[in-house]
Structure 1
Amino acid sequence: MAKIIPFKAVRPTRDKVSLVASRSYQSYTQAEREARLDYNPYSFLHIVNPGYKYDKEISGKERYQLVKNRYQEFKEDGVFVQDKKAAFYIYRIVDRDHQIFNGIVAAASVEDYKNDVIKKHEDTIESREIVFKDYLNTVGFNAEPVLLTYPDNDAISIIISEIQKQRAEFEFTTTYRDTHYLWQIDNENDIKVISDAFAKMKVLYIADGHHRSSSSSLLCEHQKTENPNHSGEETYNYFMSFLIPESELRLHEFYRVVKDLNGLTKEEFLIRLDTMYRIENRGIMPYKPSKPHHFSMYLDGEFYSLYLRKHNYDFKTSLDDLDAQLLYQTVLKPILGINDLRNNTRIDYLSGKKDIVNLKSMVDTGAFKVGFGMIPATIEQMKAIADEGLKMPPKSTYIEPKLRSGVTIYEF
């Protein structure tokens, strides 16, 4: 059973939420970051980039302490206010393509994460886990929820629908033309119905945020050793999550681009590829695959379709059926010599939300030699891989929705 509880969020005031909310720091170009820092004193970017105040790049523990300082200043200035009563928060996004996402911001149990009630499908990098744990331990808050998904549930859906008939606490539209809404649920009966509904679920799945959840687990272990009166109910025993029903989750693919052909000529590469794939030259017109185990390839100014010769490939597990894993096992590793997908600098990734023409452009610049496209993984594949205790290759899925940082904040 999954333990999901309400918490006292720290939130911007209604009049400033549109100014505070930001995308993740890494998603901005340097020019975009500088523009927001120069002209918006309320942007959450001021908190996560505290060196801006001193016109200096600051890293490590010194940066963590300054992040904490900036955060406290936002609270002191009344930009952020903590709710007096624990609540669940309904978060709704209507994006520019009219896709609608509805979910609940809540606190999920670290113990559930450890016991595999909250299941994972991606590997994490230990060094990144430790860095983020140290960051959380210093700053004392988290502003980006882990994205969890659950089977559609009528009891939860009814409450969400009823609450959304009321005026939203927050409503703002971003420059990306996505509109965000937030409602607060602090009615004890509604909280109990939602908590009981999650308690009846045997498992939840991490859709996005594997490093954040793992770091929260490390933080919990650290805090336990520091607290002689540890009870198991302290805020560090939980991490902020955005729980969304499976039917509203959107999975996109990632394209792969590789800088060279591992010493092979174009002809040698195609001959090696022919062992595992039926290859057709599609010419200069952009080509996207439409079926599992089919790939598009862009090489030397032309698109190719690659159809797997299935008699040469052994499907033993649900992971073997995943196109990102299949491409790794049949092309990236044996032919292009890319063994470590996480650390090899010869490979890069491009979100499949972007047009296949973007992949073409990256290769045409000369920075990359070859690019590969595939269809998105499915929620069923993601769950099956997690259920078998297996892990997807990095950048197997680009998952929506993406929440804004700074709208709800969880303090430890």
Structure 2
Amino acid sequence: MVVRPFRGLRPRKDMIDKVAAKPYDVVSTEEARKEAERNPYTFYKVTRPEINFDGEVDTHSDEVILKGKEVLDNFQKEGVMILEDKPAIYVYKEEWKGYSQIGIYATFSTQEYREGKIKKHELTRKDKEDERARHVKLMQAHTGPVFLMYRSRPEIDQLIIKHTTKEPEYDYTDESGIHHTLWVVKDENEIKEIVDAFKSVDAFYIADGHHRAAAAARAAEELAKENPNHTGEEEYNFFLAVLFPHSQLHILDYNRVVKDLNGNSKEEFLKKISAKFDIEDAPNSPFKPEKKHEFGMYLDGKWYKLSAKEGTFDKNDVVSSLDVAILQNNLLNPILGIENPRTDKRINFVGGIKGVEELQRLVDSGEYTVAFALYPTSIEELLQVADEGKIMPPKSTWFEPKLKSGIIVHLM
């Protein structure tokens, strides 16, 4: 597999905690605007460029995206962000709530993505791909990294970890309590050692950022067609990502809340559920499932424990065996009438970072009628789905900690 060093554009050492920001898709325009009022150097001005305008604007218009590029260019001109003097690989460590993950910032091949060597487990939406590809082309940069993983190998893991004994370039804790440390590897022999180590790896896997990866590949194809002297070595052929060993990653539960019981009374609803699930009072409140095929359900002020019965899934099919699929195929679709959870406005999804207490709060508020707490999908399940070329149901995984934007930018 190809791992490629690059000249990263990154914040000045004393500015990292001001520039780096959460991914654009986990904050609202209003949240980003408030942060910009407090902190004029936030990277939201690049990734959420609509906040540079007063009032409502079309967030996907060329004018708005180009304003984000102008901000990025100005950050560089003003010395807020600096361009590395030579290609580098960046060793990166995130620590959060006792978990630690150590990987590398590098660029990765859009050709290997197209060939299926960089494996996915989610469907992407064409409209979102189009919008992100246009963003990449207008920005002339990859402003947010894709979250990749590889099957852990001790010799490769240790090769990367050995760089963490050196003096870091960045070492700070953000507003969410995540500790970030970054080391810059510019020695050509050390870079070659890392690059060569990954040549024997068969595949990388997308953990998070399917649309960013698809958009980078789409933009590369379009730019290649527009370039009569295309060689395949241009920067647009490689996208920004952080690559971690799978053994260090942490998936949280991804829970569901539904607005109504699809015309059923509480009693009718419970009776219909009992055909496919054993129902009992939850042993504690709020209730968090402790193993696969076990679910928490909060309804009418009470927590229940649901256990999937025999026959609710195919044990030989990894996708059918996922808890998100069991819930969808045996309850959400047939009983609550939610055929497509991607588009149905009656269902919403709550990342496990907020805890099961948030599910109870949403139902108690009256905004939703019933909530379901799930046991987290495992890394091994994700790898198996990707290896078999299959697709997980929507909102199957919530990785934490997430990758910030603005720590490193890849210019094209």
- TM more than 0.5: yes
Q: Tell me the equivalent position of 1:8.
A: 7
Taking a change above 3 Å as real, the CA distance of residues 315 and 159 of structure 1, as seen in their structure-2 partners, is closer
Instruction: Provide the rounded CA distance (Å) in 1 between the counterparts of 2:390 and 2:189.
Output: 39
SS in 2 for 1:289: coil
**C-alpha displacement of 1:177:** 2.3
Whether 1:332 aligns to 2:332 is: yes
SS in 2 for 1:231: coil
Amino acid of the residue matched to residue 43 of structure 2? F
Q: Tell me the equivalent position of 2:377.
A: 377
Q: Tell me the equivalent position of 1:83.
A: 84
Instruction: Provide the rounded CA distance (Å) in 2 between the counterparts of 1:383 and 1:51.
Output: 37
CA contact (8 A) 1:143 1:407 kept: no
Q: Tell me the equivalent position of 2:39.
A: 40
Q: Tell me the equivalent position of 1:247.
A: 247
Instruction: Provide the rounded CA distance (Å) in 1 between the counterparts of 2:131 and 2:28.
Output: 23
Instruction: Provide the rounded CA distance (Å) in 1 between the counterparts of 2:284 and 2:219.
Output: 51
Taking a change above 3 Å as real, the CA distance of residues 171 and 381 of structure 1, as seen in their structure-2 partners, is same
Instruction: Provide the rounded CA distance (Å) in 2 between the counterparts of 1:36 and 1:365.
Output: 28
CA contact (8 A) 2:8 2:84 kept: yes
SS in 2 for 1:311: coil
Instruction: Provide the rounded CA distance (Å) in 2 between the counterparts of 1:48 and 1:6.
Output: 23
CA deviation vs aligned residue, 1:131-182 (integer Å, no higher than 9, x gap): 1111111111122111111122334333333322221111122122222111
CA contact (8 A) 2:124 2:210 kept: yes
Q: Tell me the equivalent position of 2:216.
A: 216
Runs of at least 5 residues in structure 2 that lack an aligned partner in the other structure:
none
Instruction: Provide the rounded CA distance (Å) in 1 between the counterparts of 2:81 and 2:313.
Output: 55
**C-alpha displacement of 1:183:** 0.7
Q: Tell me the equivalent position of 1:119.
A: 119
CA deviation vs aligned residue, 1:69-101 (integer Å, no higher than 9, x gap): 111111111111111211110111222x13212
Amino acid of the residue matched to residue 193 of structure 1? E
**C-alpha displacement of 1:283:** 8.0
CA contact (8 A) 2:312 2:326 kept: no
Structure 1: which 4+ aligned runs deviate by more than 6 Å? none
Q: Tell me the equivalent position of 2:235.
A: 235
CA deviation vs aligned residue, 1:191-249 (integer Å, no higher than 9, x gap): 11211111101111111111110111111111111011111111111111100011111
CA contact (8 A) 1:253 1:352 kept: yes
Instruction: Provide the rounded CA distance (Å) in 1 between the counterparts of 2:109 and 2:323.
Output: 32
Amino acid of the residue matched to residue 100 of structure 2? I
SS in 2 for 1:35: helix
Aligned pairs for 1:20-39 (under 5 A) are: 20-28=19-27, 32-39=31-38
Instruction: Provide the rounded CA distance (Å) in 2 between the counterparts of 1:312 and 1:167.
Output: 54
Which piece of structure 1 moves more, 173-182 or 43-52?
43-52
Aligned pairs for 1:13-412 (under 5 A) are: 13-28=12-27, 32-58=31-57, 59=59, 60-95=61-96, 97-282=97-282, 285-412=285-412
Q: How many residues align?
A: 410
Instruction: Provide the rounded CA distance (Å) in 1 between the counterparts of 2:165 and 2:100.
Output: 16
**C-alpha displacement of 1:313:** 3.6
Runs of at least 5 residues in structure 1 that lack an aligned partner in the other structure:
none
CA contact (8 A) 1:155 1:193 kept: no
Amino acid of the residue matched to residue 124 of structure 2? T
Instruction: Provide the rounded CA distance (Å) in 2 between the counterparts of 1:296 and 1:331.
Output: 13
**C-alpha displacement of 1:124:** 0.9
Amino acid of the residue matched to residue 139 of structure 1? M
Which piece of structure 1 moves more, 160-169 or 85-94?
160-169
Taking a change above 3 Å as real, the CA distance of residues 200 and 116 of structure 1, as seen in their structure-2 partners, is same
Taking a change above 3 Å as real, the CA distance of residues 256 and 51 of structure 1, as seen in their structure-2 partners, is closer
SS in 1 for 2:171: strand
CA contact (8 A) 2:169 2:183 kept: yes
Amino acid of the residue matched to residue 54 of structure 2? D
Taking a change above 3 Å as real, the CA distance of residues 204 and 51 of structure 1, as seen in their structure-2 partners, is closer
Instruction: Provide the rounded CA distance (Å) in 2 between the counterparts of 1:90 and 1:364.
Output: 45
Taking a change above 3 Å as real, the CA distance of residues 189 and 10 of structure 1, as seen in their structure-2 partners, is same
Taking a change above 3 Å as real, the CA distance of residues 192 and 231 of structure 1, as seen in their structure-2 partners, is same
CA deviation vs aligned residue, 1:28-85 (integer Å, no higher than 9, x gap): 4666434321121111122234444442333222211111111111111111111121
SS in 2 for 1:16: helix
Amino acid of the residue matched to residue 46 of structure 1? K
CA deviation vs aligned residue, 1:317-341 (integer Å, no higher than 9, x gap): 1101110111111111111111111
Taking a change above 3 Å as real, the CA distance of residues 50 and 357 of structure 1, as seen in their structure-2 partners, is closer
Amino acid of the residue matched to residue 83 of structure 1? E
Instruction: Provide the rounded CA distance (Å) in 1 between the counterparts of 2:302 and 2:120.
Output: 38
Instruction: Provide the rounded CA distance (Å) in 1 between the counterparts of 2:377 and 2:50.
Output: 39
Instruction: Provide the rounded CA distance (Å) in 2 between the counterparts of 1:10 and 1:130.
Output: 25
Instruction: Provide the rounded CA distance (Å) in 2 between the counterparts of 1:399 and 1:260.
Output: 28
